[in-house]
Structure 1
Amino acid sequence: PRLPAPLHMAAAILRARGLTWKDRLATLRLMRGLKAMSWTPPREWTVLHLLHYHAQSDTLIRQIWEPLCLAALNTPAATASAALFARVLRDSLTGSRENSDMLLPCTDLSALWPDAAARQVTMRYGNTVRQLRPSSEGVDINQERFDAAVLAVPPAFAARLLDAPLREAGATGLLDALKAFEYMPIATLNLRLQDPWRLPEPMMMLREESARDHYGQWLFDRAQLAGDTKAGELAVVTSAATGIAERNRQQITEALIDQVAEQAARHPARLPAMPEVAAAELFIEKRATFAAVPGLTRPLNSTPWPTLALAGDWTDTGYPGVLEGAVRSGLQAARVLNPAAA
């Protein structure tokens, strides 16, 4: 609700459906406990450790904290970093009311960001970087000299490109940090329906049941988001999709479709039956984000060379692998290369 903070959060908790009064008070207890910790739980704690420490019920964990942890950290609560989770809660639920706004794009993400950026710079498509040699005078990329560069690639690729230069510079600690990341997958099933089909909200949560291969967590009405009233398009998203990554794709696709149809049929809004699926495409990004585990040492944006900066949501942003962290990292990389602009 559009109330001043922190009244907006209290009102949301009081109005939440499916929670007992004991659970509602427990959520407030967690927030007070984190505030008393200065939003900095012990570095070695997992999210589950934090939740148990503040006596959160199994219902609260299942219906609120675990889905939020998966959405923000792409790592299960049992292994996810409590420090990163607390940072997300602090920055979204404290301060101004607008900090907790959830923004849903009304166009695809390519059009929203990379396509818009590409119109403002010179792009070299299909030009693979195979050699990168930084120095105090500049950066040689495929034997072409540039004044400076931002290396904005996943850490495994950064380690491959910088292996020899970092060893020569004696910066093996940075090289080890780049190689130390473990990764978590995200699966997305895109569905095109034979007829239009509207959900009560453009984004809805699904109930998981792994024994039946019902791994879907979030359901997006893509047609509704794009304002298309004549199409039926859905996206089923699963974070930390380790249960999907190694399974038979056809079997998982059919199970996810069954999950959506079954749970829609049980929805209190009495939705019409889900139309037949005209096309289905399952994407699994096995290294979608880094595993946000406790104690992970993440590289800074700076390197041994003043002409080269690192950027990516995996740098030491204080956030998990999210868009907000990527933006912060990009801004900090620019400051590294041009300290006067800071």
Structure 2
Amino acid sequence: MKVAVVGAGWAGLSAATRLADSGADVAVFDMAPQPGGRARSVAGDPPYDNGQHILIGAYRDSLALMQRLGVDVNAVLLRAPLALPYPGEPGLQLPPGPPLLAFTRGVLAHRGWPLPARLRLLMAATGWLVRGFRCAPGENVAHLCSGLPRVVLQDLIEPLCVAALNTPAAEASAEVFLRVLKDALFSGAGSADLLLPRRPLSELLATPAHAWLGPRLQLGRRVQRIEPEWQVDGEAFDAVVLACSSVEAARLTADIAPDWAHTAQQLPFQPIVTVYLQSPGSRLAAPMLALREGPDAPAQFVFDHGQLGGAAGRFAFVVSGAADWVARGDAGQAVLAQALRELAWASPPVLDRVLTEKRATFACTPGLQRPAAHIRPGLWAAGDYVAGPYPATLEGAVRAGAAAAQGVLAQGAAKGSPTNTP
């Protein structure tokens, strides 16, 4: 089969790798000068990341893809049991071991919460487990967790929700949030482990995939038109995988599949702002600290790049669900003030760089209609936004790419096209 993949983000690279491994003749097109999509590095010495990304142990497809491309995941990722320390506080820390036992032990050992609060969290988690981590499709996270003490909401539920779904708890889908909790906390030993990049983000997947794909990856080329059965800017293919953004996919399918294009075009977005500060000689108590968000405190997490193998004295503050701060236009100065109030510094921190990804993810709201992966025979969509149980994460993108590739290969096999479908 001859297959075009439009887009070289993590979804497109996942699809292209799976297709090429199965014997397909793959061509990958991306309008950007470098692969990786939103999960890439940008110019700097050393490079900055276009947003601070976190992986977790449950991202098995992402880790498998990295290994397939020759990446030593133990070298590029710092792995540690889930911990949410705050400045001057140890926070919740899960010990190693079976997930149910580790979660129970970690909650009971967290002396920062009163015992009744810890017990109420364990009771709520037990209820979610008994119900198979299911809830009404229209329920939001704030309602799902309304019976929990404020301290648990503030220190655990709200930061996890905004980190995983990039949507505030009052607006976020409880159905998707429960799926994240199920996979992260209860899907096997190590599934909740935090995996923090200790190399520039492009080295995790984009650069190795570029080397692996070679001339099959064409950068700086924006696809102008797709026509049925199947022409990509006049070149014939047996199938096409749209692994570009939902906005770009909607443009390319407006005439081919107008209903699908309309659904993709209607997706709401949430931005993420990453604020980089410089403070020579400074060091955090841990590579990652959680921060308490507030009216004058935009950031929910801060990362010490010096402890992650990057530039010493560089600190990345992450503002997720950042629509209000983008509208205000002063996230950088607000983060600097927050950092001065909440953290100790060996030298006065200065604002280094502010990176704003205005369409970082779709807003993961209750009952959101997401476009299907299968558009028409021979035409598939792959991206973290397609219909499925996961929010817009790296793992969601990788799985969507693999699923689209399998769909293409299955249709090719049904038509008698020669492939080596596993």
1:131 aligns with 2:225: yes
1:44 aligns with 2:138: yes
- 1:203-282 matches, within 5 Å, as 203-210=288-295, 212=296, 214-226=297-309, 231-249=312-330, 252-265=331-344, 273-277=345-349, 280-282=352-354
Query: Contact 1:6–1:97 at 8 Å: present in 2 too?
Result: no
In 2, distance between residues paired with 1:283 and 1:17? Answer: 36
Partner of 2:418: none
In 1, distance between residues paired with 2:129 and 2:167? Answer: 23
In 1, distance between residues paired with 2:285 and 2:156? Answer: 20
Partner of 1:142: 233
**Closer, same or farther: CA 17–280 of 1 in aligned 2, 3 Å:** farther
1:317 aligns with 2:388: yes
In 1, distance between residues paired with 2:329 and 2:239? Answer: 45
Question: Which secondary structure does the structure 2 equivalent of 1:286 belong to?
Answer: strand
Partner of 2:364: 292
Partner of 2:287: 202
Partner of 2:35: none
Query: Contact 1:191–1:234 at 8 Å: present in 2 too?
Result: yes
In 1, distance between residues paired with 2:143 and 2:348? Answer: 43
Q: Deviation of residue 257 (structure 1)?
A: 1.3
Query: Contact 1:261–1:274 at 8 Å: present in 2 too?
Result: no
Query: Contact 2:140–2:173 at 8 Å: present in 1 too?
Result: yes
**Closer, same or farther: CA 131–274 of 1 in aligned 2, 3 Å:** farther
In 1, distance between residues paired with 2:203 and 2:388? Answer: 25
In 2, distance between residues paired with 1:42 and 1:10? Answer: 26
**Closer, same or farther: CA 246–5 of 1 in aligned 2, 3 Å:** closer
Q: Deviation of residue 71 (structure 1)?
A: 0.3
- 1:103-122 matches, within 5 Å, as 103-121=195-213, 122=216
In 1, distance between residues paired with 2:272 and 2:97? Answer: 35
Q: Deviation of residue 278 (structure 1)?
A: 5.3
In 1, distance between residues paired with 2:111 and 2:317? Answer: 23
Kindly provide the amino acid, as one letter, of the partner of residue 144 in structure 1: E
In 2, distance between residues paired with 1:281 and 1:300? Answer: 37
Kindly provide the amino acid, as one letter, of the partner of residue 121 in structure 2: T
In 2, distance between residues paired with 1:105 and 1:19? Answer: 30
Where do 5+ consecutive residues of structure 2 fail to align?
Answer: 1-94, 414-420
Q: Percent identity?
A: 35
Q: Deviation of residue 301 (structure 1)?
A: 1.7
Partner of 2:117: 23
Kindly provide the amino acid, as one letter, of the partner of residue 90 in structure 1: K
For residue 399 of structure 2, the aligned residue among 317, 324, 328 is 328
In 1, distance between residues paired with 2:305 and 2:113? Answer: 29
**Closer, same or farther: CA 131–66 of 1 in aligned 2, 3 Å:** same
In 2, distance between residues paired with 1:176 and 1:334? Answer: 24
Higher relative strand content: 2
Kindly provide the amino acid, as one letter, of the partner of residue 101 in structure 1: D
1:11 aligns with 2:82: no
1:160 aligns with 2:254: no
Q: Deviation of residue 191 (structure 1)?
A: 2.0
Q: Deviation of residue 134 (structure 1)?
A: 3.1
Query: Contact 2:165–2:391 at 8 Å: present in 1 too?
Result: yes
For residue 83 of structure 1, the aligned residue among 168, 175, 189 is 175
In 1, distance between residues paired with 2:261 and 2:324? Answer: 31
For residue 129 of structure 2, the aligned residue among 16, 35, 53 is 35
TM-score (norm 2): 0.72
Query: Contact 2:272–2:360 at 8 Å: present in 1 too?
Result: yes
For residue 263 of structure 2, the aligned residue among 151, 172, 177 is 177
In 2, distance between residues paired with 1:17 and 1:188? Answer: 31
Partner of 2:184: 92
Question: Which secondary structure does the structure 2 equivalent of 1:261 belong to?
Answer: helix
Q: Deviation of residue 149 (structure 1)?
A: 2.2
Kindly provide the amino acid, as one letter, of the partner of residue 264 in structure 2: L
In 2, distance between residues paired with 1:304 and 1:7? Answer: 46
Question: Which secondary structure does the structure 2 equivalent of 1:284 belong to?
Answer: strand
Question: Which secondary structure does the structure 2 equivalent of 1:259 belong to?
Answer: helix
For this pair of structures, how many residues does the alignment match? 317
Kindly provide the amino acid, as one letter, of the partner of residue 238 in structure 1: V
In 1, distance between residues paired with 2:217 and 2:130? Answer: 49
Q: Deviation of residue 261 (structure 1)?
A: 2.2
Q: Deviation of residue 279 (structure 1)?
A: 5.2
Partner of 1:74: 166
Query: Contact 2:273–2:357 at 8 Å: present in 1 too?
Result: yes
Question: Which secondary structure does the structure 2 equivalent of 1:338 belong to?
Answer: helix
In 1, distance between residues paired with 2:125 and 2:224? Answer: 48
Q: Deviation of residue 281 (structure 1)?
A: 1.1
Cα offsets for 1:267-294 (capped at 9, x unmatched): xxxxxx3423455111111111001011
Question: Which secondary structure does the structure 1 equivalent of 2:328 belong to?
Answer: coil
TM-score (norm 1): 0.88
Structure scoring higher RCO (CA < 8 A, sep ≥ 6) equals 2
Query: Contact 1:215–1:243 at 8 Å: present in 2 too?
Result: no
Q: Deviation of residue 253 (structure 1)?
A: 1.9
Where do 5+ consecutive residues of structure 1 fail to align?
Answer: 266-272
Partner of 1:270: none
Question: Which secondary structure does the structure 1 equivalent of 2:303 belong to?
Answer: strand
Query: Contact 2:268–2:362 at 8 Å: present in 1 too?
Result: yes
